[in-house]
Structure 1
């Protein structure tokens, strides 16, 4: 991919944005009638987060609420929704107008343009000043859609990189460790999986794949992976295409079909919403998104060595700067308090670590070098750290690389910018068609990408349905907007 490297200014900001603000001073005990009951002068906020509900969640949130009540007059009703169910559940919630306050923003741009999220520019200025100073400003720029900001991105790695995480011990025992260290594509995995399957015939998932499985392919997906509109990262970067009409996508689907038929992907994968925790050794290889420190974190959580091989260089796309965003619901009755909480979460070291790492002395202990060590109860509380805000505030585990911040700098220095970075399509004129097309893609996506169905037959059916739903007109509208945007960039 021959795109422009990110500027040195961007990289410098990545490191300077790690400055830690602790103990924000805003303490407002006023309460307002809102999305839930107010007691003792505090406002309760309903907060939806992606991730597996945790056994010790209530115990941790009790401590969180003591702290936030004292600091900003807020308590949290944290509602975790499992990985495979989150997107659909939030669509139902936002469509119905059910009141809530804060959420992890799935399909950020689409839902923002649908009116699901509150515009935050003024609130950020009035209630999020410390946050604005802390976060890399280019993250805020990347999350701005047609001049409007609808969420607060996590301050973390700027590039996105997908690749293959794998069980190193299994790789050694199957004699494929060196091959795995060099495996970039699905096709590279095929002879490896054959040997792993022969060595471990009872292994449930040589490749861990479920209903949400979507391997890396060289496209920037303009409206997310649940829609078919893409710009090729290799080739013509000026034309929007239906990815399901592209030869390299068909080749990917054909490979996955072979994997399924050979037993590398398990038979119920198309309907499987299990997140497949790494700690359960019933898999060999899986697609993962990398960030500095990820390998150490995976290995620590799994309690065995996990390896990783990237499929591509770090790529900065709209999704990499908006793939982890907290938004305030347009239906929230407590938007100012919600922003106060997001401000505190992203600037207060104690709160950030309490929500992320758990309770000191219960889920971890602190060492003399300021690193932390997991206790035997750490498994009762494990959160998606990357989704919770400013990662530069998080404490290092003793298993983390000591140069974690430097790794972020190196990772971001390798990032290249997608040709569509900064382009957000206005879907207001085609919202009905977009909704129909999304439903069609989701009907076919899981069966196709788990290899569970005949590729040629189902791909033809998918494209026929997309044609009938008006995909050509939608692509014409998107192309017109993209052409105009490209001309403005020049």
Structure 2
């Protein structure tokens, strides 16, 4: 009896230990979403040059987040030139992470293949305030097959490509940049800079602008013309406009207005290095003030096109929750707070008050040297613009102008249309490789388009471009009927 009692007691104690362990595991798992448990660390990967003061800023960020949502954030920036390749490798390998920056066709493709979590249900609960704060058109524009897979930055929803000039050189030579309407209009100015400014490259490395609505991006041969209204997808590299544009770029390249290695250079041409005269990029209201502040010298821009709302502008900056996240709800709680809480939004964006910026009695701010030198985060990549502090040099109506800018834009033919490339995936892969071979050299003027555009188009034909164009048209027509 004594022996049996001892065995029974040991068995009961073992069962009790196992139950206690199970209870502890369940408790620790559920506590990740609670106020009293161990804070959950959110792994966030985003674009931009890593900054010296990131750890210092996020020490304060995490103090705040622990109190608000019982979480901390580990933000890792990947430099501009490395972003596309490294981020895609992380996604393809299934690396454990919670939030990742994405945009454009990469967002669509990765959402379609299951790399991101559908957020619709969480936007009704953990992200309710965030959903209420966002322009509904933005959320509508990032839907893939009816579901939302990322949080778009609440900012300018339209695109306007501009020519941006170094204002010091504009003033020095008395250039009237308002006369620049086309690529060809730049030539007299470029010639003067080439002849008189030995330390300046007339054209920062950029790809020539073409006015099309792209299905993937401007490197791929699938586009809808903005004008004409025929709703027909084309290979823009067969157009007369593309040939003329690339001929102009080639003449500029031969004249020495671009670097010799323009097609292969990975130089990001940062604005804070004053070694360029003109560049191209996408703008927003009062962008010159923002760029001048970041560069520490003045720039001035003129439009290359009227504002237009396209899929890339709506999806130009997105935070997606990874399918590998161990706690998607906690990640959504953070995104909700980041986009609706002015204190947190400005802390992540501007850094520490008194260290990276100072605030005046009106609540407007001025950057301190440490902001430019040690914590210069790309604002567009983080989230909601409309909770950001205004600078002392900002117009007080800045955010109102953003809304007017969005309202003034015309909608591109494909706004809201997202192509599913599954039926032609192998053709797309082949065409992508061909485009990588030809596009950089053609768009920077590094080769003669009269020789290389026909070669490019011949290879595209051999790779099955007609089949892809047919599939895009089919899906577009079906989508259009439902609008």
User: Which moves more between the two structures, 79-88 or 333-342?
Assistant: 79-88
Please give the residue correspondences for 1:160-179 in structure 2 after superposition, counting only pairs within 5 Å. Answer: 160-176=159-175, 178=176
- Give, in whole Å, the separation in 2 of the partners of 1:382 and 1:302: 11
Structure 2 match to 1:283: 276
User: What SS does the aligned partner of 2:199 have?
Assistant: coil
- Give, in whole Å, the separation in 1 of the partners of 2:174 and 2:457: 41
Q: Is it true that 1:128 corresponds to 2:127 in the alignment?
A: yes
CA shift digits 1:179-203 (9 cap, x unpaired): x123132111122211221221331
Q: Give, in angstroms, the shift of residue 448 of structure 1.
A: 1.8
Q: Give, in angstroms, the shift of residue 240 of structure 1.
A: 0.5
Structure 2 match to 1:311: 304
Structure 1 match to 2:365: 372
CA shift digits 1:75-97 (9 cap, x unpaired): 22211112222122222221222
- Give, in whole Å, the separation in 2 of the partners of 1:254 and 1:334: 53
Query: Tell me, which stretches of 5 or more residues in structure 2 are unaligned?
Result: 1-26, 31-35
Q: 2:203 aligns with which of 196, 201, 207?
A: 207
Structure 2 match to 1:259: 252
Q: 2:42 aligns with which of 41, 45, 50?
A: 45
CA contact (8 A) 1:127 1:336 kept: yes
CA shift digits 1:200-253 (9 cap, x unpaired): 1331x21111xxx33331100012234221000122541101111112112222
Q: 2:438 aligns with which of 440, 444, 448?
A: 444
Structure 2 match to 1:115: 114
- Give, in whole Å, the separation in 2 of the partners of 1:224 and 1:332: 28
User: What SS does the aligned partner of 1:217 have?
Assistant: coil
Using a 3 Å threshold, how does the CA distance of structure 1 residues 129 and 445 change in structure 2: closer, same or farther? same
Q: Give, in angstroms, the shift of residue 32 of structure 1.
A: 4.7
CA contact (8 A) 2:357 2:366 kept: yes
Structure 1 match to 2:319: 326
Q: Is it true that 1:153 corresponds to 2:152 in the alignment?
A: yes
CA contact (8 A) 1:103 1:326 kept: yes
- Give, in whole Å, the separation in 2 of the partners of 1:184 and 1:116: 42
Q: How many residues align?
A: 450
- Give, in whole Å, the separation in 1 of the partners of 2:47 and 2:89: 15
Q: Between Structure 1 and Structure 2, whose CA radius of gyration is higher?
A: 2
Q: Is it true that 1:272 corresponds to 2:257 in the alignment?
A: no
State the TM-score, normalizing by the size of structure 1: 0.88
User: Which moves more between the two structures, 403-412 or 278-287?
Assistant: 403-412
Using a 3 Å threshold, how does the CA distance of structure 1 residues 455 and 419 change in structure 2: closer, same or farther? same
- Give, in whole Å, the separation in 2 of the partners of 1:476 and 1:167: 44
User: What SS does the aligned partner of 2:352 have?
Assistant: coil
User: What SS does the aligned partner of 2:234 have?
Assistant: strand
Structure 2 match to 1:423: 417
CA shift digits 1:140-168 (9 cap, x unpaired): 11111221111111111121111011111
CA contact (8 A) 2:150 2:319 kept: yes
CA shift digits 1:318-370 (9 cap, x unpaired): 11111111111122222111111111110111110011111111000000111
Using a 3 Å threshold, how does the CA distance of structure 1 residues 225 and 114 change in structure 2: closer, same or farther? farther
Using a 3 Å threshold, how does the CA distance of structure 1 residues 116 and 171 change in structure 2: closer, same or farther? same
User: Which moves more between the two structures, 309-318 or 253-262?
Assistant: 253-262
Please give the residue correspondences for 1:73-112 in structure 2 after superposition, counting only pairs within 5 Å. Answer: 73-106=70-103, 107-112=106-111
User: What SS does the aligned partner of 1:391 have?
Assistant: coil
CA contact (8 A) 1:45 1:101 kept: yes
- Give, in whole Å, the separation in 2 of the partners of 1:291 and 1:433: 36
- Give, in whole Å, the separation in 2 of the partners of 1:468 and 1:79: 42
CA shift digits 1:255-303 (9 cap, x unpaired): 1111111111111222222322212110011112111231111111122
User: Which moves more between the two structures, 350-359 or 288-297?
Assistant: 288-297
User: What SS does the aligned partner of 1:298 have?
Assistant: helix
- Give, in whole Å, the separation in 2 of the partners of 1:340 and 1:403: 30
Q: Give, in angstroms, the shift of residue 417 of structure 1.
A: 0.8
CA contact (8 A) 2:208 2:249 kept: no
User: What SS does the aligned partner of 1:272 have?
Assistant: coil
- Give, in whole Å, the separation in 2 of the partners of 1:166 and 1:259: 17
Q: Is it true that 1:345 corresponds to 2:338 in the alignment?
A: yes
CA contact (8 A) 2:208 2:246 kept: no
Using a 3 Å threshold, how does the CA distance of structure 1 residues 311 and 70 change in structure 2: closer, same or farther? same
User: Which moves more between the two structures, 383-392 or 438-447?
Assistant: 438-447
CA contact (8 A) 1:159 1:411 kept: yes
CA shift digits 1:359-399 (9 cap, x unpaired): 11100000011100111211111111112111001101112
User: What SS does the aligned partner of 1:100 have?
Assistant: coil
Q: Give, in angstroms, the shift of residue 40 of structure 1.
A: 7.4
Structure 1 match to 2:375: 381
Q: 1:220 aligns with which of 203, 213, 231?
A: 213
- Give, in whole Å, the separation in 2 of the partners of 1:61 and 1:320: 29
CA contact (8 A) 1:171 1:196 kept: no
Query: Tell me, which stretches of 5 or more residues in structure 1 are unaligned?
Result: 1-29, 34-38
Q: RMSD of the TM alignment (CA)?
A: 1.9
Q: Give, in angstroms, the shift of residue 436 of structure 1.
A: 2.4
CA contact (8 A) 1:297 1:399 kept: no
